A and B are shown apart, each in its own frame.
Chain A
Amino acid sequence: MTDQTAPEISNNHANAGYWTRVARDGQKMGFWFVLPTLLLLVFIVVFPLLMQLYLSFTWWTPLEGIPWYQAWEVFNWGENYWYMVTDPRFWGALWRTVLIMIVAVPAQFFLGMALAYLFIDQFPGRKLFYSIMLTPMMIVPAVVGLMFFLLFQGTGPINDHLGLPPEFSCLTDVNRAMISVIIADIWQWTPLMFLILLAGMLGVPSDQLLAARLLGGSNWQNFFKIILPRMKTVIIIALVLRAVECFKIFDLVFIMTNGGPGVQTETISVFLYNQTFGELEWAYVATMGLSILIALSILAMKGLSYMAKK
């Protein structure tokens, strides 16, 4: 082929084999390169989604005695969705998830911001403290769950130090269990907030801070008028990142309380897990999973378009 002259190639073009044409056409070749990934995506994203949609309209469970693809035999015309809307346990789990989110994320934000502000100046031992600060984030969430599970035991070190009796258990108490989970989440994820916010804060030119200081701005005013406005984007990113992560909270709760006592700390993820592996209500789980996915997608789209406008 290589020794052919240019006109002959174009003459050959029409009646060349399919693969020869592919080799000459970047677009066609690209399609073949992408195809394996595309098939994989179809298999792991599109197919399960469709299966989920299909199952969510049936009564099907693994105990039904029929394969999932024959689930149309127990088709129920969307009764699962109605059941979900009227299921107090679902709404309870959703509310608790949101509760953790609206308490833990702001707490992480304010703590992270305060720490970041502390760390923009040099002080002896800054590097050491910096490394120590970041360790919680590096620990596997399940391990953090286990740590706090041990810490908050009735006979654990926290009660011991505070001189509280073993009956005063944080994890099995109706009111305190949720607080314990939130504390664990704050402990683990404040460092991430701190890291992102510190990076943002260091990005504010020191000359501008100095100028503001010379012009009479107090530290307080400098923070609100110079640092915060310049960190807006970073702050939005940090908050969105943590909010999304927090909505998916599972490991901590599962290990610390397993949703208990009762359903007092059951979050959406834990609820779905229990429904899947405890109750084997797969069709119902499919319904909820799909609904949450759609709801979150709409929220994210709204949020992104709002941010893009700003």
Chain B
Amino acid sequence: MTAIELTNAVKSYPEFTLGPINMSVEQGEFFGIFGPPSTGKTSILKLILGLLQPDEGQVVLSGRDGAGMDVAERGISMVFQNLALFPHMTGRENIIFPLRERGASEREIAERLDFVSEVLHVSHILHKNPAQMSGGERQRIALGRAFAADSRAMLLDEPIAALDARLREEMRVELKRLQRENNQTFVYVSHDEEEVMAISDRVAVVIDGKIAQIGTPDEVYSRPDSLAVAKVIGSPPMNLFQGYFDEHGAHFKADILPESVAISGAPPKGREGTLGVRPEDIWLGESDGNPSFEVTVSSVEPLGSYTIINAMLGEQILKIRTPGQVILREGSAQRVSLDSRHLHLFDQTGQRI
């Protein structure tokens, strides 16, 4: 069942137009919205919440048109980036706020509170005020408050961005567990690509107010629909080579690479285009059947389980990611080859071929 559906939703601002947005979030899905800062992610959330009304198109919630629905009626709860906990209330009062507002019975409130504090492991901090809690504790209380509302869907607007890295990873797992165990619908917004990719079932990549691609994290990563998506997904970013497709449509000749690359598909013959190669798809050394060329190592970043090598190819910096630890002398020449199975080709307009 579709929990949230946006059809051709458009919202115009004087200097910026959002949409048309087409996306549907299934019941029980963990749906990620990813995009660089200020590309309209939060506006999409506002459309879903009903804080903004679309100029065109519609927002449908569980089969009901959202146009006539009040914000509170929509049954969607939200976790804010700054959490927006009520500082004059204890953790307990914060969590049961939505229940009280709904007029739930004391028994129901007690049961729900027990359940929520059990799930989120917050029983021991219920008596504290938000000011007395640690960042992670506040986070849990905010989640608990949204969770207690037992709403149709939960929107999370960069809810863990303010936490430190270790805690973020912990909360990520926690969120996923919470969503899975309770078969909740989550819409998770973040500008942190790694975060979204790690927990979402599907990801919508938003660029300049438009949805550039919707797909599983794997799809978005290994088959980016457009150059724009390829650029924002992946860290370190994809290596891009400008060039042109040859007359026969069988090869791509990058300006900077010594030899042309054999390609399949139906490229626009004789036109310009871009070749994209992920850092992990560039191997050190020669390899059979793959194009190879020489680069100059400019710096090496050993990161434990993998190493990132920055290499110069003419004026262009290549990012190479290789598993394990390698020792390379800075300034030395190094032969590298491209994994021809994982090449991304984009035409002049940036569309994938």
Q: Are A215 and B51 in contact (CB under 8 A)?
A: no
Given contacts A210-B51, A230-B88, contact A216 B82 (CB under 8 A): no
In the assembled complex, A229 has its CB within 8 A of some CB on chain B: yes
Q: Are A229 and B88 in contact (CB under 8 A)?
A: yes
Q: Are A214 and B49 in contact (CB under 8 A)?
A: yes
* Chain B positions within 8 Å of A207 at CB level: 80, 82, 84
A211 to chain B, nearest CB (A): 4
A236 to chain B, nearest CB (A): 15
Given contacts A207-B80, A211-B80, contact A217 B72 (CB under 8 A): yes
In the assembled complex, A212 has its CB within 8 A of some CB on chain B: yes
Contact stretch, chosen from B95-103, B189-197, B245-253? B95-103
User: Which residue of B is nearest A222, CB measured?
Assistant: B101
Q: Are B101 and A211 in contact (CB under 8 A)?
A: no
In the assembled complex, B297 has its CB within 8 A of some CB on chain A: no
Q: Are A226 and B86 in contact (CB under 8 A)?
A: yes
B109 to chain A, nearest CB (A): 13
Q: Which of A216, A226, A229 contacts B98 (CB 8 A)?
A: A216
Given A213-B71, A216-B101, A225-B97, 10 more contacts at CB 8 Å?
A: A208-B84, A214-B49, A214-B71, A214-B72, A215-B77, A215-B101, A216-B98, A218-B101, A221-B101, A226-B86
Q: Which of B36-92 contact A (CB under 8 A)?
A: 49, 51, 71-72, 76-78, 80, 82, 84-88
Residues of B within 8 A of A (CB): 49, 51, 71-72, 76-78, 80, 82, 84-88, 97-98, 101-102, 145-146, 149
A215 to chain B, nearest CB (A): 4
* Chain B positions within 8 Å of A212 at CB level: 86, 97, 101
In the assembled complex, A205 has its CB within 8 A of some CB on chain B: yes
Q: Are A216 and B78 in contact (CB under 8 A)?
A: no
The CA of A292 and the CA of B78, in the complex, are separated in Å by 56
The 4 closest A-B pairs by CB, nearest first: A215-B98, A207-B84, A211-B84, A216-B101
Given contacts A207-B80, A211-B78, contact A217 B101 (CB under 8 A): yes
User: Which residue of B is nearest A211, CB measured?
Assistant: B84
Name 8 A/B residue pairs within 8 A (Cβ), A-sorted: A207-B82, A210-B51, A210-B80, A212-B101, A214-B76, A215-B146, A218-B101, A225-B97
* Chain A positions within 8 Å of B78 at CB level: 211, 214
User: Which residue of A is nearest B72, CB measured?
Assistant: A216
The CA of A215 and the CA of B83, in the complex, are separated in Å by 13
* Chain B positions within 8 Å of A230 at CB level: 87-88
* Chain A positions within 8 Å of B97 at CB level: 212, 215, 217, 225
* Chain B positions within 8 Å of A215 at CB level: 77, 97-98, 101, 145-146, 149
Q: Which of A210, A217, A221, A225 contacts B84 (CB 8 A)?
A: A210
The CA of A211 and the CA of B85, in the complex, are separated in Å by 8
The CA of A216 and the CA of B145, in the complex, are separated in Å by 12
B245 to chain A, nearest CB (A): 51
User: Which residue of B is nearest A214, CB measured?
Assistant: B78
Q: Which of B51, B82, B97, B145 has the most CB of A within 10 A?
A: B97
- A 213-249 binary contact with B (CB < 8 Å = 1; else 0): 1111110010001100110000000000000000000
* Chain B positions within 8 Å of A221 at CB level: 101
B335 to chain A, nearest CB (A): 55
